[in-house]
Structure 1
Amino acid sequence: MGEQPSTDLGQDRAHSARMYDYYLGGTTNYAVDREAARAVIEVFPAIETVARVNRAYMHRAARYLAQQGVRQFLDVGTGIPTTPNLHNVVQDVAADCRVVYVDNDPIVLVYADELLDGTSEGRTAYVQADATEPDDVIAAVVEKDVLDFNQPIALSLHALLHFVPDDRRPRELVARLLEPLVSGSYLSLSHCTGDYAPEAWQAIIDTYIQRGTPAQVRNRAEVERFFTGLDLVDPGLVLAHQWRPEPGSGPAVLTERQVSLYAGVARKR
């Protein structure tokens, strides 16, 4: 375990990353996170399925990109480490993959050693930064000197943008993070939607907002706009469990309502 930072760990307020950890069955969360997560589960029990489907999608998308020859990954909104992490997946395909993780939750730094146990051939690094400040993210990543911005990079924004309401200009955020990436880079994105259970998802959003976390779900067309100017790879933007499913990657039968999560991978021209 890494050395505990002196910064405030936010034990008095719920954090979306720690709530997500709870949905996945993890233990890196506080009482305030568990209370908030249980409130969400009460109105939408399938939220735990959504979390598992998102995690399985991340594994498949990362593996696919490594198989396409991508050797550099920038994961923004990393969350609490849960093995296998992204670097475990891609370095299993190619040991020389390089990965930089970014998150704004100080507790992630406490467990950062689990994000830095990559192969000797590759490199992994962790940056504490706020995704809603993309210039700061890019500057911090450049300073780490792990990724070569002259070569393709896969940008991962998994289960992040539904915590960036429109007034925080999420489309400009995505565009700014993509701007320094060269042609042949990729964006992998997943995003919760209220398309299939609008009342339940409004209750979920209200729960997050009441506990101090801004949130906003979006419909399919709104999520697809994050890929403007990029070329979506097959099968395009779909519900996450439908994106290149693999045997054993999740429950065999899921409804659209249970998943409530769009996902897609696109290539920068």
Structure 2
Amino acid sequence: MESFLLGLPLSYSTLLYLGMDMAIGLFLLAMMRWVYGLWTKVDSTAQLAEKDNFAFGISVASSLFSLSIVLWSAAERASAGDYLDKSLQMIVYGVAGILLIKVGRTIHDRLILNRLDKQEQILNRNVSIALVDGASSIAMAIIVRSVLLWTKGFDLQSGIAVLTGFFVALTVMLVTTRLMERRFARDNQNDSMQEVLVRGQVALAIQHGGNLLGTALAVTAASQLLYYQPDAYISNLINWLFLALLFTLLTILLSRIAQKLILRGINLVREVDQQHNVGVASIEMALTIGMALLLTGLVS
């Protein structure tokens, strides 16, 4: 064991900088919880421990998970030997990640889930809304991660590329949500999906959350086909948007085919939309994410 440990490239300076990075990550995660309470203007401790608000906990957890994904990307893309630069990147991308999560959620609430008051619903313990909110936040972080790994360097151009990925993430989630709403209205006598989520339909929230996460992974697959051009801002945006929407539609198509094959004999509309079958909705979510992962593996 001792000879094995001696063979590892872990010098004193390496351990020191790794410890610094971990400290930065823990600080930013703690900061995320404090900032979340500041945004919502509520006492997060009271919501979590005294009122046992599960919906609030899900929303906070998704914020922390999203920030962790951004920090993971920042740590992974930095040079292995440039420890100070890695620490600086973790701080910069961590703070930027917190801001992007805030801005993204604000735009998501006003543009995508525009028929309800998300914060009010979460404070009223609506788990369905919290699940969709959490899935959208994590999906956005997954797309930002793919952009971080796609870019090269740590400069203004890479920052613009991150904002490009942020715009693509919001566009993809908007398209996915509107397609889901159109399908739901068609199969349920023109009922509103958002209004049903307000009524606490957990199965529908799981189904839609799976669609958001699956399409985010599909955008990650699209990034494998793009070549990073630091100065080609418009070209980068158009290429990202085109391939992201193409892979999103392809993921949706593949997931529908998989559902018909694997869930043959089960009426998905009746089970999920009408009977609130969480089990069937979970299988749908798994198949959507699974098809996106398969697509990512095929193009990588």
TM-score by length of 2: 0.24
The structure whose residues are more often helix, as a share, is: 2
The structure whose residues are more often strand, as a share, is: 1
Q: Which has the larger radius of gyration?
A: 2
TM-score by length of 1: 0.27
